[in-house]
Amino acid sequence: MERFLIEDLKKWKESPNRKPLIVRGARQVGKTWLLKEFGSTCFENIAYVRMEDNSAMQSLFDGSLDPKRIVSGISAFTGQRIEPQNTLIVLDEVQAVPRALTSLKYFCEDAPEYAIAVAGSLLGVALNAGISFPVGKVNFIDVHPMTFLEFLKALGEDQLESIVESANFDMMGVFKERLEDLLRIYYFVGGMPEAVSVYAQRGDFTEARSIQTDILNAYQGDFAKHAGPTVGERCRLIFESLPRHLSKENKKFVYGVVKKGMRGRDLDDALQFLIDSGLVLKVPRISMPGLPLSAYADESAFKLFCVDIGLLGALAGTDSKMIIDGDSLFTHFKGAMAEQYVCQQLVSDNNLIPYYWSSAKGNAEVDFVVQLDGLPIPIEVKAEENLRAKSLATFCKAYDLTNAVRLSLSGYRRESWMTNIPLYAVHCIGGI
């Protein structure tokens, strides 16, 4: 399968200001595969080390953090000759050996000729727990589940991927039915690489769902192992509440929906663990579309989405039969799948930070607001071809905005104050 982040990794390799690389992302999104693929295709060899439960590496990094000593130890452990520029050094699950993270400072300052990349599914959790971090001495790349465009490539739909990627709306109109069919499949299969690979090879929805269930079970194991029994159980409760939250008309996260009587102070640690581990996407409310949007965010009011639409479907128990049942998968539990999909693509494909807006009286809401080219862009998500956008119009009129986006199953069309973009073309938002 092809991951577009390979191009970002190539740019990192060739950068004259290259620093050690930290690759972040939730478990099972493909970090290890990505780094191994990068190492095998762009370097002469790769020295890969998994740090978890590795006493040899623990002992190595307990000593001096001199890069030459560390490189010698890794070379001995892997049996790989490590040559600057020709070898990619990969330390996986690096949070298991905290001093390995600290060593990146010395690689940056004293041995920048080495290409070293580290990864970890719980890096965010570890850093929040106080692990010494080499501020300003590293580069970052975030890995998310596969985007819809990557999904098209994985299924061999290269021409359709090219049409969407190039914002060729005329040709999208020609292949509208096929693109909608593929979007339905993506809603069910999602973007977790193993599930995508199985579906691409065998077209088996049942096997894809089995993999999603295994991933969810692995997440449950992480809750218990890394968050402790009390916080871990609350992580489980929050995660399993996602379909209930997103099935509401008002999708704002409510602590009492997780478990009756629960308060913020009861769940905040668990919520932060889920955010830090990349398993949920937090979308804060903004009071107004001022710039930067972050300055107008109300952190106490937010929506919470799953890391992957396929995993959300597995949590909700969506049936693969819905894929052939018209638009029912698009509208499933009040359009929650459509909003989940859009949020996921805004983050993974468009590299945007989504917020949302609601009026003080709560009678109007804009699904997402993003900051793009120095402008606030409100986004309305319509699960079908319904083109009514009353809340969007109210918001734009109140704040004198003339560049709004509506995402729906309708085709592309440009109006004086709003652009309608097909749901399968979220990638094209950056070119409005």
CATH of the domain at 54: 3.40.50.300
> Is the pLDDT assigned to residue 308 strictly greater than 90?
yes
**Non-local CB neighbours of 6 within 8 Å, separated by 6+ positions:** 34, 37, 38, 41
> Is the pLDDT assigned to residue 274 strictly greater than 70?
yes
68 and 207: one domain? no
131 and 166: one domain? no
203 and 287: one domain? yes
> Is the pLDDT assigned to residue 334 strictly greater than 80?
no
What pLDDT score was predicted for residue 321?
A: 80
User: Which residue segment(s) compose the domain that 375 sits in?
Assistant: 149-431
Of 138, 107, 108, the closest CA to residue 123 belongs to: 138
Of 56, 73, 75, 77, the closest CA to residue 65 belongs to: 73
Whether the bond into 354 is cis, omega within 30 of 0: no
DSSP string covering 215-239:
HHHHHHHHHHHHS-HHHHHHHHHHH
Task: Give mean pLDDT, residues 67-83.
Answer: 98
> Is the pLDDT assigned to residue 33 strictly greater than 70?
yes
126 and 158: one domain? no
176 and 273: one domain? yes
What pLDDT score was predicted for residue 249?
A: 83
Task: Give mean pLDDT, residues 370-377.
Answer: 96
Confidence label for 162 from pLDDT (cuts 50, 70 and 90): very high
Q: Mark which of 142, 168, 184 sits at the end of a domain.
A: 142
Distances (CA, A) of 227 to 23, 123, 198, 321, 343: 22, 13, 31, 37, 26
> Is the pLDDT assigned to residue 322 strictly greater than 90?
no
202 and 286: one domain? yes
> Is the pLDDT assigned to residue 332 strictly greater than 70?
no
Is-contact 205 199, C-beta < 8 A?
Answer: yes
> Is the pLDDT assigned to residue 329 strictly greater than 90?
no
167 and 123: one domain? no
Q: Mark which of 125, 142, 159 sits at the end of a domain.
A: 142
> Is the pLDDT assigned to residue 57 strictly greater than 90?
yes
Task: Give mean pLDDT, residues 27-51.
Answer: 97
116 and 160: one domain? no
> Is the pLDDT assigned to residue 130 strictly greater than 90?
no
Q: Mark which of 116, 142, 168 sits at the end of a domain.
A: 142
342 and 369: one domain? yes
167 and 190: one domain? yes
What pLDDT score was predicted for residue 317?
A: 92
156 and 108: one domain? no
In degrees and rounded to multiples of 5, residue 377 shows phi and psi of: -120, 110
Of 432, 299, 307, the closest CA to residue 376 belongs to: 432
Task: Give mean pLDDT, residues 68-75.
Answer: 98
> Is the pLDDT assigned to residue 387 strictly greater than 80?
no
Q: How many domains, the chain?
A: 2
109 and 166: one domain? no
Most confident of 155-169, 218-232, 250-264, 409-423: 155-169
